[in-house]
């Protein structure tokens, strides 16, 4: 079996299975050395979570910084073996030279494989490939009781395999994952199709996702951008090996602006996968870096989502901008950073609600359908036969006098529940405990918790995602 091995983590040569086993052994020893009864967290350098933490100081942390190796890229079988802290940037760099990519590549370079599987992910191939956890073939998980189990969809740990997505590290940590890959072409041809109302936009989105074609051309990627109630775009991407001219949005030019300025475009496949990372979708505008002189000064190296995230983390810690706003007499703001999914037939209704109640623009839209309708993912259940629309919105809104923090987020949570949707838990959540466990299958979670973390050394999902412990 021809197998290509690559190491994207250390730069010290091939990451062998023996070396991986040694890293896992050290991690297990670290866990065993933490006093019984102490709550355990991961210690890592990067994060794409937007939840605060109440306390957490002095909590023991497992150092997983060594688990950053791409172990194998099996070209013949189109699979990759990776350690849990490998970023998608590392993985894409390892697979693209072989004409392969992960089935779903989340938008931000420093999202890790383990993070995307335990915390979900989505991108423009999700209308045909689902979410990242749906292309996992097997994974080694360090559970709360200190054992390492190999979970597959058809072995004695199948319940953990299916219950791991949306557990956010509260059942265990992914040490190694084997995932499926798919072939790519060298470039992606884009068409930005404008619509003047939501009903027409979602009707076309439905048709393209069902047929897989637009005006006779096969469609490999679908997402969209809403700038205003009468200005919506679907961006349809198709693999191509032929591109006379290729755009570059990794430095001076801003990708999301091109959606309004062009009807067609071409990108290399790598630049397409990271088209949103350079400007964190459009959120970099709040940091003043979308002006060409500023971009020229910063260079490509600093125009990255992880750089912006660190700036935001510092602001959340010290509140400099918030204090300046108060001195200027500006009203307090509520952070509204969310991704939600609603069934396609309720998408226009959600967008109308959002336009009336939440003053945020643009809004990202992305269709997603479960890849295999026979599978059941209990902690994030969607109708396996339905097409959903993800809405992503990331900003802050002013609070009116008397409005409490969380007013707008709670409003969104209620509306999503009313429409039969689900909300991702990477950001702040405000559900009461009964509602939370109704939505995220508390019975299934409780059974997994008792089996794989009987001493509750890892946080509880509600505590972690809502109480922010």
**pLDDT tens digits for range 436-455:** 999 999 999 999 999 999 99
Question: What pLDDT shows up at residue 5?
Answer: 43
Could you give phi then psi for residue 197, rounded to 5 degrees?
-155, 155
Instruction: Answer yes or no: is 87 within a domain.
Output: yes
Q: Across residues 389-401, what is the average pLDDT?
A: 94
Question: What pLDDT shows up at residue 320?
Answer: 67
Confidence band, pLDDT 50/70/90 cuts, at residue 70: very high
Q: C-alpha distances in angstroms, 10 versus 65, 81, 113, 116, 360? A: 11, 16, 17, 22, 41
- Give every CB contact of residue 117 below 8 A, 6+ residues apart in sequence: 132, 133, 136, 139, 164, 165, 174, 177
Q: Across residues 251-269, what is the average pLDDT?
A: 98
For residue 79, the domain's CATH number is 3.30.465.10
Give the helix, strand, coil percentages of the chain, each rounded to 5: 35, 25, 40
CB 429 within 8 A of CB 436: yes
Instruction: Answer yes or no: is 450 within a domain.
Output: no
**Which range marks the domain in which residue 54 is found?**
17-183
Instruction: Answer yes or no: is 111 within a domain.
Output: yes
Instruction: Answer yes or no: is 133 within a domain.
Output: yes
Whether the predicted pLDDT of 1 surpasses 50: no
d(CA 269, CA 96): 9
Confidence band, pLDDT 50/70/90 cuts, at residue 461: very high
Instruction: Answer yes or no: is 311 within a domain.
Output: no
- Among 60-64, 129-133, 251-255, 398-402, which is the least confidently predicted range? 60-64
Q: C-alpha distances in angstroms, 320 versus 250, 269, 325, 335, 362? A: 29, 39, 9, 15, 25
Tally of domains within the chain = 1
Question: What pLDDT shows up at residue 6?
Answer: 41
CB 228 within 8 A of CB 242: no
- Among 25-39, 103-117, 322-336, 415-429, which is the least confidently predicted range? 322-336
Confidence band, pLDDT 50/70/90 cuts, at residue 7: very low
Instruction: Answer yes or no: is 136 within a domain.
Output: yes
Q: Note the pTM of the prediction, 2 decimals.
A: 0.93
Residues in a beta bridge with 224: 234, 365
Instruction: Answer yes or no: is 58 within a domain.
Output: yes
Instruction: Answer yes or no: is 363 within a domain.
Output: no
Whether the predicted pLDDT of 12 surpasses 70: no
Whether the predicted pLDDT of 245 surpasses 80: yes
């Amino acid at each position: 079996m021809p197998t290509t091995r690559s190491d994207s983590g250390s730069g010290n040569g091939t990451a062998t299975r023996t070396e991986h086993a040694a890293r896992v052994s050290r991690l297990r020893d670290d866990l065993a050395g933490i006093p019984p009864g102490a709550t355990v967290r991961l210690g890592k350098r990067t994060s794409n979570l937007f939840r605060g933490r109440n306390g957490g100081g002095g909590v023991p942390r497992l150092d997983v910084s060594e688990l950053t190796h791409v172990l194998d890229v099996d070209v013949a079988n189109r699979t990759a073996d990776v350690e849990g802290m490998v970023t998608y940037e590392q993985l894409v760099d390892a697979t693209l030279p072989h004409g392969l990519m992960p089935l779903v590549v989340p938008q931000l370079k420093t999202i890790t494989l383990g993070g995307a599987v335990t915390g979900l992910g989505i991108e423009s191939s999700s209308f045909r490939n689902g979410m990242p956890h749906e292309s996992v073939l097997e994974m080694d998980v360090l559970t709360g009781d200190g054992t390492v189990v190999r979970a597959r969809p058809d072995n004695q740990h199948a319940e953990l395999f299916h219950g791991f997505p949306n557990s956010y590290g509260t059942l265990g940590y992914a040490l190694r994952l084997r995932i499926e890959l798919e072939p790519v072409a060298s470039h992606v041809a884009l068409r930005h199709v404008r619509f003047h109302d939501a009903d027409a936009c979602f009707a076309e989105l439905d048709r393209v996702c069902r047929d897989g074609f637009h005006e006779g051309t096969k469609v490999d990627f679908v997402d969209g951008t809403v700038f205003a109630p009468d200005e919506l775009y679907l961006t349809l991407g198709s693999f191509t090996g032929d591109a006379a001219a290729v755009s570059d949005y990794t430095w001076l030019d801003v990708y999301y602006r091109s959606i309004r300025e062009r009807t067609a475009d071409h990108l290399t496949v790598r630049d397409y996968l990271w088209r949103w990372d350079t400007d964190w979708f459009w959120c970099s505008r709040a940091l003043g870096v979308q002006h060409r002189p500023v971009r020229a000064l910063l260079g490509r190296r600093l125009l990255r989502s992880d750089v912006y995230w660190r700036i935001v983390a510092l602001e959340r810690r010290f509140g400099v901008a918030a204090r300046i706003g108060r001195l200027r007499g500006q009203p307090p703001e509520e952070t509204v950073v969310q991704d939600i999914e609603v069934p396609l037939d309720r998408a226009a209704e959600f967008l109308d609600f959002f336009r009336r109640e939440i003053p945020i623009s643009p809004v990202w839209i992305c269709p997603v359908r479960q890849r295999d309708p026979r599978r059941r993912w209990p902690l994030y259940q969607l109708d396996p036969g339905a097409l959903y629309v993800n809405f992503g919105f990331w900003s802050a809104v002013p609070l009116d006098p008397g409005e409490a923090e969380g007013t707008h987020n709670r409003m969104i949570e209620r509306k999503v529940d009313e429409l039969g949707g689900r909300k991702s838990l990477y950001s702040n959540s405000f559900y009461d405990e009964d509602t939370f466990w109704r939505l995220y299958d508390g019975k299934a979670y409780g059974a997994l918790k008792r089996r794989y973390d009987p001493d509750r050394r890892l946080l509880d999902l509600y505590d972690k995602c809502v109480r922010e412990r």
